[in-house]
Amino acid sequence: MIGCAVGNGISLMDLADRFGTPLIVYDLGKVEENYKAIRDNLGARVLYSIKANPNLAILTFLRKLGSGADAASPGEIFLALKAGFEPGDILYTGAFRSLDDIKYGIEAGVLFNFDSRREFERALSLGYRPRTVFFRVDLGYGRGFAPGVVLAGEESKFGMFLEDAIDAYRLAKSVGVEEFGIHAMMGSNVLDPDYFIRIAELLKEYAETIEYRVGIKITYFDMGGGFGIPYRPDEKPLDLNRLRILRSFFPGELWVEPGRFIVGNAGYLVTRVTEVKRKGSKTYVGVDVGMNVLIRPMLYGAYHHVITCNDSGEREVVDVVGPICENTDKLAVNRELPRVNEGDILVILNAGAYVYSMSSNYNGRPRPAEVVVYGNEYAVARFREPLESLVAGQVVPGFI
């Protein structure tokens, strides 16, 4: 991105004027660059993690690039199929799935990644007899940018420790499963390449023990996601060159499930200044987007860099706040920015992952439009929700 422009010089200010604000813009050229970088450096089968951003245009674009899909729910399976993914290119990973969730996956014909032996037993009770099955293990080692995204140990609800995993693989072998995969997802937004090398070492050790104890051969080694992007200006990007060692690390196929790494830095949340309020020693820059769209700073204390598209040369320390009736509706706190005025445009960076997908209609706020850019072209990929969407699916019972 150069000077509030994306693609081949398409102005975010012009897009804001044409489509209104708040607005989320995705640069598909950046999505393509990120996808190819992780695929080519790791030599891996890439399954895009739909939960990061389920926009149908992005899913279709990645499918055409050759990506598979990582789905966490029937809804994400539905979206992947809508985008043209074949069932065999969708890995269905979940935890504590209901029988209806399991049944949907069986009927859709997708690959299953089971979180526990009991979950696999419940699938078997529905008549499920797969040729290929994955199980999710807990390697006891994880890392993340916040406690809630460290997915290892007893405090994590996901996966199985080694002995439980051995029991699950034994059951799968006994019912005729022919191909086996092993899966581990241990953390989120990690920028240290040594972390991923350690995860690979542990995953390989677990697989070797399982193979020896159960008498099977594991074909697919899925390291999950967690590949990070820099959110702060002083952070260094993940060095994928260091991870080229993983290309021949496993005796079978390496699979990875990046979401944020592919789409995170390709998204721009464009918002307009509604008011500048000075209150005592504080200056609040109010904008027309709030925590109903970008909840990560409030949920995790996450940082998103903010830039202005009008630089007066003067600078001041401000809080960038939204219109939601919560005092936690603060998108950036004590941030030094160029002095802005009502009507100016701000751009919140790294808005491609876990922004729209975690949004809501809280405070009766419809969600924004989404626009995709590719080179010199751009188009709406999702329309702004009208007020009528707030009552969609609702009825007033006759007895009221």
> Could you tell me where in the chain the CATH 2.40.37.10 domains are found?
265-386
Assess whether the previous peptide bond of 368 is cis (omega < 30° from 0). no
Q: What is the DSSP string of 149-212?
A: G---STT--SSB-HHHHHHHHHHHHHTT--EEEEE----BSB--HHHHHHHHHHHHHHHHHHHH
Cβ contacts of 36 within 8 Å, gap of 6 or more: 65
Q: Which tokens sit at 301?
A: 């204390």
pLDDT by 10s per residue, the chain, length 400: 567 999 999 999 999 999 999 999 999 999 999 999 999 999 999 999 999 999 999 999 999 999 999 999 999 999 999 999 999 999 999 999 999 999 999 999 999 999 999 999 999 999 999 999 999 999 987 665 555 555 667 888 999 999 999 999 999 999 999 999 999 998 889 999 999 999 999 999 999 999 999 999 999 999 999 999 999 999 999 999 999 999 999 999 999 999 999 999 999 999 999 999 999 999 999 999 999 999 999 999 999 999 999 777 789 999 999 999 999 999 999 999 999 999 999 999 999 999 999 999 999 999 999 999 999 999 999 999 999 999 999 999 999 9
Q: Which helix (H) or strand (E) holds 31?
A: helix 28-42
182: helix, strand or coil: strand
Q: Which tokens sit at 193?
A: 């390449």
Residues annotated as catalytic (active site), given as ranges: 325
Please tell me the CATH code under which domain 28-264 is placed: 3.20.20.10
pLDDT at residue 141, as a whole number: 79
pLDDT at residue 148, as a whole number: 54
pLDDT at residue 182, as a whole number: 98
Contact at 8 Å (CB) between 245 and 37? no
Contact at 8 Å (CB) between 247 and 282? no
Residue 137 CA to residue 345 CA, distance in Å, equals 46
Residue 221 CA to residue 204 CA, distance in Å, equals 8
Cβ contacts of 365 within 8 Å, gap of 6 or more: 290, 292, 293, 323, 324
Contact at 8 Å (CB) between 24 and 351? yes
Cβ contacts of 187 within 8 Å, gap of 6 or more: 142, 143, 144, 149, 150, 151, 152, 195, 226
Q: Which tokens sit at 383?
A: 């329309």
CA 24 to chain centre: 15
Residue 58 one-letter amino acid: I
Residue 396 CA to residue 282 CA, distance in Å, equals 45
Residue 342 CA to residue 261 CA, distance in Å, equals 34
- Residue 1 DSSP code: -
Q: Which tokens sit at 233?
A: 């200006």
Q: Which tokens sit at 55?
A: 């926009």
Residue 343 CA to residue 377 CA, distance in Å, equals 26
Residue of 342, 246, 343, 231 whose CA lies nearest to 294: 231
pLDDT at residue 90, as a whole number: 98
316: helix, strand or coil: strand
Residue 117 one-letter amino acid: R
Residue of 133, 129, 200, 137 whose CA lies nearest to 165: 137
Please tell me the CATH code under which domain 265-386 is placed: 2.40.37.10
Q: What is the DSSP string of 95-108?
A: SS--HHHHHHHHHH
> Could you tell me where in the chain the CATH 3.20.20.10 domains are found?
28-264
SS3 annotation, 259-273: CHHHHHHHEEEEEEE
- Residue 91 DSSP code: E
